[in-house]
C-alpha cells in the first residue's frame, strides 16, 4: 500500500515552513520522521495535499543541558534520546519510555516533535512529558510561545497548536534533588501499541511525597494528569497502602474502552497494577526503598 498524491516542500528555514503551512491552512502538514504520517498515508485512511518536511531545517536536533533543565530539539530522534547519558541520569522516566517505544529501527527515525504533535493517546511521549512537567516551544507567524505539556493535548490527534505552528523545542525542567520517575508499559504480545502505560514522576522530602505527577497512555482519548490520584500521594509517606490507593484511583479515573486490545475492565486492572509498579520504581529511583 502506497501513499496518495501530495505536494512536497523541504524548505531550509523554519519561517518558510510556517509560511507554507499558513498558505494551505488545514491542508498542509509537517513531515518530521514520518513514522506516524507515512503509515497513515499508506493506509489511505486520509490524504494530505501538502507535506512540509523539516528535514532540511538545520539545528533542530539536540539534547542540551541548561541551568533549569534539559532542552531537546523537536527533530531529535527517539534513539538519540534513548542513548543519551544525560537523559538516562536525569530523567529515567524518559529513558524507560524511549527504550520501549516502537522498535529500534523506527526509533532511528521517529522524532520527539512528531511523537508529541501527533497527539495519539497511544503514543508514549505525551504522558512522559506531562508527568515531567515539560514545556513546549511552539513557533508561528507571530514568533514563539510556550505551552505546558499538560495544556498541549486537547483531544485524540488534536493539540493546542494552530495549523501553521511548529513545535521547535521541548524543555524538561530539573526536578528536586530527591526525585525519581518511571514509565511502565504493558503490551499485548506483539501488538504495536500498549494496552496501557503509565508515567510517574515523584519528588520527596524525607520520606514524604511533596510532588507527584501521573499520566497515562492508551487508556483515555488524550493523555492528561491524573490529579485525583496524585492528591492521594502528595503530603504522605508512600506506604503500600497509599500506593495501592493511588493506583486504584488511576484505574478508576481512566477512561479505557473495550477494543481488540482488551476489555475496559481488563485495561483498568492492568493499569492499576502497572501504576503500582511505576510508583514503587519511581520511589526507589528517588532513593526511597
Partner 1 sequence: MVSKKHISITVNGEVKETEVEPRMLLAHFLREVAGLTGTHIGCDTTNCGACTVIMDGKAVKSCTILAVQANGKKILTIEGLSKGREKLHPVQQSFVDKHGLQCGYCTSGMILTSYWLLKNRKNVTEEEIRAAISGNLCRCTGYDNIVESIKDASKKMEEEGDPIEEHPEIKVRA
Partner 2 sequence: MELSEKLVRGEGRFVDDIQMPGMLYLGFARSQYARAKILKITGAQLTHREVNFEVVEVGEGATEGGPAALSHPVLAGEYVGYVGQPIAAVYSDDRYVAEDLIDSVEVEYEPLKAIVDPEESLKREGMYPGIKSNAIVDRYFGKDFNPDPSDIVVERRLINRRVATNPIEPRGIVAAYDGHKLTVWVSTQSAHSIKEGLSEALKMEPDRIRVVQVDTGGAFGLKGGLFPEYVVACYLAMKEKRPVKWIETRREHLLASRPGRGVVANLRLYAKKDGTITGLKGDVIVDNGAFTGGSGEFSPMFIARQLAGAYKLPNAYVRAVSALTNKAPQGPYRGAGRPEAMYFIERLMDGLADKLKMDPVELRLINAAKETYTSPLGMQVEKSREFLESAIKELNYEKYKGRENVGFAFLILYHATAGGESARIKVEEGRLKVWTGGNAHGQRHDIFIKTLLKEELGVPEDLVDAMKGDTDQLADGVGAWGSRSSMVLSSAVIVAARKIKEQVEKKHGKYTLKALLEGNWDEYEFFKYDKTESSLGANLVTADIDSYGRVMVKECLSYYDAGRVLDPDNARGQNAGGAVQGIGQTLSEELSFDEDGLPLITSISDAGVLSADLVPKFGIKFYKSESPLPSKAKGLGEAPTIGVPIALSRAIELATGKLILETPIRPEYILPEERA
Ligand X SMILES: Cc1cc2nc3c(=O)[nH]c(=O)nc-3n(C[C@H](O)[C@H](O)[C@H](O)COP(=O)(O)OP(=O)(O)OC[C@H]3O[C@@H](n4cnc5c(N)ncnc54)[C@H](O)[C@@H]3O)c2cc1C
Q: What does the alpha-carbon distance between residue 107 and residue 171 come to, in Å, rounded to a whole number?
A: 20
Name the H helices within the chain. 14-23, 37-42, 78-82, 85-90, 92-100, 104-107, 112-117, 125-132, 149-152, 227-233, 240-253, 264-285
How open is the CA angle 101-173-272, to the nearest 5 degrees?
50
Q: What does the alpha-carbon distance between residue 238 and residue 178 come to, in Å, rounded to a whole number?
A: 14
For the segment 19-58, give every residue that binds partner 1 (CB under 8 A): 31, 34-35, 38-39, 41-43, 51, 53, 55
The count of chain residues that interact with partner 2, using the rule CB under 8 A, is 23
CB 6, min distance to partner 1, A: 6
99 binds ligand X (CB under 6 A): no
Q: Which does 55 bind (CB under 5 to 8 A by kind): partner 1, partner 2, ligand X, none?
A: partner 1
Among 125, 262, 280, 288, binds partner 2 (CB under 8 A): 262
CB 42, min distance to partner 1, A: 5
- Kindly state the DSSP code that residue 225 receives in the 8-state scheme: B
Q: What does the alpha-carbon distance between residue 274 and residue 280 come to, in Å, rounded to a whole number?
A: 10
CB 104, min distance to partner 2, A: 10
Cα 196 → chain centroid = 14
Q: Which does 204 bind (CB under 5 to 8 A by kind): partner 2, partner 1, ligand X, none?
A: none
Residue carrying the nine cell digits 493506583: 247
The residue of the chain with the least Cβ separation from ligand X equals 114
Among 31, 131, 214, 215, binds ligand X (CB under 6 A): 31
Backbone angles phi, psi at 211, to 5 degrees: -150, 135
CB 56, min distance to partner 1, A: 8
266 binds partner 2 (CB under 8 A): yes
Task: Determine the angle formed by the axes of helices 264-285 and 240-253, rounding to 10 degrees.
Answer: 140
**156 versus 263: smaller Cβ distance to partner 2:** 263
What's the N-to-C CA distance of the chain in angstroms? Answer: 51
Count of C-beta atoms within a 10 Å radius of residue 183: 31
Among 8, 58, 143, 190, binds partner 2 (CB under 8 A): 190
- Closest CA relative to residue 127, chosen from 150, 147, 111, 145: 150
C-alpha cell at 85: 547519558
Among 14, 86, 106, 160, binds partner 1 (CB under 8 A): 106
CB 56, min distance to partner 2, A: 24
Q: What does the alpha-carbon distance between residue 63 and residue 171 come to, in Å, rounded to a whole number?
A: 10
**54 versus 288: smaller Cβ distance to ligand X:** 54
Footprint of partner 2 on this chain (CB under 8 A)? 1-5, 43-44, 103, 186, 188-192, 195, 260, 262-263, 266, 269-270, 273-274
Footprint of ligand X on this chain (CB under 6 A)? 29-37, 39, 74, 101-102, 106, 110-111, 113-115, 117-118, 123-125, 166-167, 192-193
Footprint of partner 1 on this chain (CB under 8 A)? 1-8, 10, 31, 34-35, 38-39, 41-43, 51, 53, 55, 79, 102-106, 108-109, 192
Amino acid at each position: 500500500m502506497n501513499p496518495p498524491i501530495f505536494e512536497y516542500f523541504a524548505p531550509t528555514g523554519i519561517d518558510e515552513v510556517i509560511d507554507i503551512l499558513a498558505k494551505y491552512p488545514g491542508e498542509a502538514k509537517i513531515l518530521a520522521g514520518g513514522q506516524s504520517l507515512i503509515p497513515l498515508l499508506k493506509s489511505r485512511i486520509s490524504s494530505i495535499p501538502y507535506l512540509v518536511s523539516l528535514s532540511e531545517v538545520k539545528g533542530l536536533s539536540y539534547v542540551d543541558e541548561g541551568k533549569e533543565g534539559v532542552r531537546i530539539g523537536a527533530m531529535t530522534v527517539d534513539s538519540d534520546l534513548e542513548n543519551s547519558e544525560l537523559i538516562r541520569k536525569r530523567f529515567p522516566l524518559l529513558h524507560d519510555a524511549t527504550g520501549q517505544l516502537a522498535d529500534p529501527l523506527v526509533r532511528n527515525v521517529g522524532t520527539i516533535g512528531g511523537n508529541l504533535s501527533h497527539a495519539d493517546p497511544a503514543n508514549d511521549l505525551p504522558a512522559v512529558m506531562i508527568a515531567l512537567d515539560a514545556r513546549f516551544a511552539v513557533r508561528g507567524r507571530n514568533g514563539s510561545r510556550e505551552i505546558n505539556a499538560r495544556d498541549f493535548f486537547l483531544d485524540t490527534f488534536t493539540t493546542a497548536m494552530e495549523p501553521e505552528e511548529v513545535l521547535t523545542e521541548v524543555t524538561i525542567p530539573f526536578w528536586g534533588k530527591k526525585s525519581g520517575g518511571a514509565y511502565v508499559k504493558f503490551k499485548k504480545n506483539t501488538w504495536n501499541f500498549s494496552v496501557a502505560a503509565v508515567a510517574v514522576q515523584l519528588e520527596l522530602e524525607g520520606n514524604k511525597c511533596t510532588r507527584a505527577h501521573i499520566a497515562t497512555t492508551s487508556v483515555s482519548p488524550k493523555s492528561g494528569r491524573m490529579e485525583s490520584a496524585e492528591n492521594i500521594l502528595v503530603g504522605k509517606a508512600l506506604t503500600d497502602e497509599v500506593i495501592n490507593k493511588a493506583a486504584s484511583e488511576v484505574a478508576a479515573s481512566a477512561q479505557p474502552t473495550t477494543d481488540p486490545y482488551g476489555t475496559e475492565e481488563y485495561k483498568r486492572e492492568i493499569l492499576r497494577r502497572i501504576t503500582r509498579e511505576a510508583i514503587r520504581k519511581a520511589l526507589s529511583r528517588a532513593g526511597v526503598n
